[in-house]
Amino acid sequence: MALEFVPLGEALGVEVRGFDPSEPVNDTDHKALHTAWREHLVLVVRAHALTDKQLIAFSEVFGELDPPGPNTYGAPFLEEHPELNVISNVVEDGKHIGGLGAGEAVWHADMTYQDLPPKAGVLHALELPDSGGDTYFANMIEAYESLPDDLKQRIEGRVAIHDGAHNSTGQLRKGYEEITDVRQTPGARHPLVRTDPDTGRKALFLGRRPHSYIVGLEVEESEDLLDELWDHATQSRFALAHQWRVADTLIWNNLCLLHRRDDFDDCARRIMHRAQVKGDHPVT
């Protein structure tokens, strides 16, 4: 059966129908999935439960996997599959089975504190709360293209530091100290505008707002410019909201999107397994 790609929103996203991600992917589907991912930036596959091995095999369709970054507890969550991350608020036998808890995760892209951040994220829902915990994606290509010309000029050639000390809920990762001067924020430096080597399209590349700094500017000037960029980039007109159902899998372009998550009731259980795909081009 041919794959069907059903648009999900004005800004981005398609649902993939006629496809079972637990099965090996043939060459035709492989190509179609890649093309749709590059074009639409988020692929949603509804209601197909995956084992960890199947999630890994499906994620590898998009490239070699990148191990998760350091979490707040200092050890991989899945001993058998350290290439997977667990996003969860659940505590079992006094131990957190995953990261990020139940709080809001602010707008961010994953692991951009590395020199070569992952190009794709893959998230699979195992258990969900009755409400809350929706995930949102914002299209940074559209955000860049719609910037006023003067703002485009002000960020041309500028580089920002992407904070590696905190996760997206603001928790300090193990081994890091609180940041008191954003000029000293630990993490990779990337151009504020990134050209996708596959498509030639330009995108705003912001990483995450707290503790970011635009190199070479006075701190106040950097803060003001970052606020202006973030206010623009996180408008709802660039965004897609995903309300999860158990066994949904999402694959997104980590380098052309930001994502965030709503908080949810910490008494409920939310368990997601996540893979990330290595970036294969330097960020320029």
Considering only 54, 135, 139, 254, the residue that binds ligand SIN (CB under 6 A) is: 135
Q: How many CB atoms lie within 10 A of CB 165?
A: 18
Residue 134: how many other CB atoms lie within 10 Å: 13
Distance (Å, rounded) from C-alpha 157 to C-alpha 185?
Answer: 20
Q: Which residue is nearest to ligand SIN (CB)?
A: 135
Least gap, CB of 274 to ligand SIN (angstroms): 6
124 sits near ligand SIN (criterion: CB under 6 A): no
CB of 214 to ligand SIN, least distance (A): 24
Q: Which of residues 159-188 bind ligand SIN (CB under 6 A)?
A: 168
User: Is residue 87 involved in binding ligand SIN (CB under 6 A)?
Assistant: yes
Helices (H), 46-171: 52-59, 140-145, 149-155
Residue closer to ligand SIN (CB basis): 103 or 191: 103
**Residue 272 binds ligand SIN, judged by CB under 6 A:** yes
DSSP string, 59-95: HGGGS-B------TTSS-S-SS-TTSEEEE--EETTE
Structure token pair of residue 69: 């970054």
Q: Is 88 one of the binding residues for ligand SIN (CB under 6 A)? A: no
Q: Which of 166, 205, 171, 206 is nearest to 185 (CA)?
A: 166
Closest CB to ligand SIN among 112 and 168? 168
Is residue 109 a contact residue for ligand SIN (CB under 6 A)? no
Binding site for ligand SIN (CB under 6 A): 87, 100, 105, 110, 135, 168, 259, 261, 272
